[in-house]
Amino acid sequence: MHDGMTLGRRGLIGGAAALGGILAAAGARADTVTLRLNGGPEQRSLTTAFPQKGSMILQRTRPPLLETPFEVFDQGVFTPNDRFFVRWHWAVIPEQVDLATFRCAVRGHVNQPQSLSMADILALPRVEMAAVNQCSGNSRGLFQPRIAGGQWENGAMGNAKWIGVRLRDVLDRAGVKSGAVAVRFNGLDEPVVDGAPDFMKSLAIDHARDGEVMLAYQMNGEQLPLLNGFPMRLIVPGWYSTYWVKMVSDIEVLDTPDDSFWMKNAYLIPATPHADVKPGQTGFPTEPINRMVPRSFFTNVTAATKVKPSAPVPLRGIAMGGDCGVAAVDVSTDGGATWGPAVLGRDEGAYSFRQWTMQVAAPASGTLTALVRCTNTKQVAQPMEANWNGGGFMRNVVERVNLNIA
């Protein structure tokens, strides 16, 4: 059926859930999904061909871009490891990691360079943090006008309980020398072609040492799947996933600003409100992408959901504050003229998804259009208008769903 691979139990459940979500789309096959990308292409295969992964939306095989089918986000605020999205820049990804020989270097502007095994890492004080990992370009496929790049719908994100060590404790083992300005992280993956820029990212030294940035070796109670960065990855709570380097094997403390490609030339956003510019606009300042912004989603209804006339409609979803917690989630059924507060679920931490629920009433006929808006604890709310920038980054417009009365 799916590439001749046996469907594990979770793959079957994922496949069945995906089937339920797309049965309404006329002519859809059971192993494909239709994304709502104006201008297309909208069809994607659902694949179970990737190790340790259940049914995933296939954006690209190599290097892998795997999107989480959106119904997974209705199953709970934590994204199961085998449905967690996958995004790699370069195709030379180790298929085998041997803990007997794996070492992570800590070098550069330090007193004692280190070569740490995972046993060394496990011996450091253990910390836990729930945090959303979201691709900088999540939702890029929804931008209008469209932008080249990974054509994600909204599923290039996931929430996990990360267990590991503070980056600060790892840095302290090497002893950061005064004059350090940044810390740069490199993983085991490599470009196919010599001379192409190896993927590495850096954080300012104070950020790196803030006690929240961590190196995680477990997500949701298990070691990291290979494709999510085994044996350990960087966790930068509240910041976009580009910084969450996978398979971290090299930590370099810098005493001059990082001018490597992936910091200086890539992942730049307009330094404007909402990182918003007009298509074709030039001459605006840019800065490296950084903090996330609030978002909220409907997870129990889609445009295919039918509601009964004049009936109560239970709505449910997830919200995130971005770089801080969720203060409120509000729902509107009159196009944003008035809003009512949703009930928030358990607080799993400032950087975690938060569930929200709300009941609204369907009209007697026509369409029920619902909007959901998150306001975070810094009083920043999602905008009613979508932003635009040439990278397709940082989308966080208020989401809406049109439900047909039938």
Partner 1 sequence: MDSLLKVAAAVAFVSVTSIGPWAALVPSAYSQPVDAKVGPTAPKASVEAAGIRLRSVGFELPTEGRDLPTGPGADVTAANCVACHTPGMILNQPALTRLEWTGEVTKMVKVYKAPVDAADIPAIVTYLAGLKVAP
Q: Which residues bind partner 1 (CB under 8 A)?
A: 3, 8, 37, 39-44, 47, 49-52, 58-65, 90-91, 93, 95-101, 117-119, 122-123, 126, 146, 148, 151, 163, 191-197, 217-218, 223, 226-227, 230-231, 261, 265
Nearest approach in angstroms of CB 336 to partner 1 is 28
Angle at 57 between CA 367 and CA 55, to 5 degrees: 105
The string of DSSP codes covering 149-175 is S----S-SEEEEEEEEEEHHHHHHHH-
As a whole number of angstroms, the distance between CA 263 and CA 289 comes to 9
Nearest distance from residue 49's CB to partner 1, in Å?
5
d(CA 42, CA 153): 10
Could you count the other beta carbons within 10 Å of the beta carbon of residue 58? 20
Toward partner 1, which CB reaches closer, 218 or 286? Answer: 218
Q: What amino acid is encoded at 136 in this protein?
A: S
Spacing of C-alpha 250 from chain mean position: 23
- Least distance (Å) from partner 1 to the CB of residue 64? 7
* Cα 297 to Cα 24: distance, rounded to the nearest angstrom: 21
| Shortest reach from residue 100's CB to partner 1, in Å | 4
CA distance 145 to 143: 6
Tell me the closest approach of the beta carbon of residue 229 to partner 1, in angstroms: 11
Element (H, E) at 265: none
Rounded Cα distance between 21 and 13, Å, is: 12
Phi, psi (deg, nearest 5) at residue 385: -105, 140
Instruction: Tell me, rounded to whole angstroms, the distance of Cα 132 from its chain centroid.
Output: 6
Token digits of residue 361: 């009433």
**CB of residue 124 vs partner 1: minimum separation in angstroms?**
9
Closest CB to partner 1 among residues 149, 175: 149
Task: Report the alpha-carbon distance of residue 140 to residue 393 in Å, rounded.
Answer: 7
Q: Which of 162, 155, 115, 159 is nearest to 138 (CA)?
A: 155
Closest CA relative to residue 151, chosen from 269, 34, 262: 34
* Minimum distance, C-beta of residue 392 to partner 1, in the bound complex (Å): 11
CB 17 within 8 A of CB 54: no
Please write down the long-range contacts of 229-233, taking CB distance under 8 Å and 24 or more positions apart: 229/187, 230/97, 231/97, 231/99, 231/102, 231/118, 232/104, 232/118, 232/121, 232/164, 233/187
Nearer to partner 1, 60 or 207 (CB): 60
Nearer to partner 1, 56 or 253 (CB): 56
Q: Minimal distance in Å, beta carbon 52 to partner 1?
A: 7
Alpha-carbon span 340 to 372, nearest angstrom = 10
Q: From the CB of 69, what's the least distance to partner 1, in Å?
A: 16
CB of 384 to partner 1, least distance (A): 24
364 φ, ψ (degrees, to nearest 5): -70, -25
Dist. CA 268–CA 390, nearest whole Å? 9
Query: Tokens in use for 292?
Result: 């996330």
Nearer to partner 1, 199 or 356 (CB): 199
Q: How far is the CB of 358 from partner 1 (least distance, A)?
A: 34
The structure tokens listed for 77 are: 């605020």
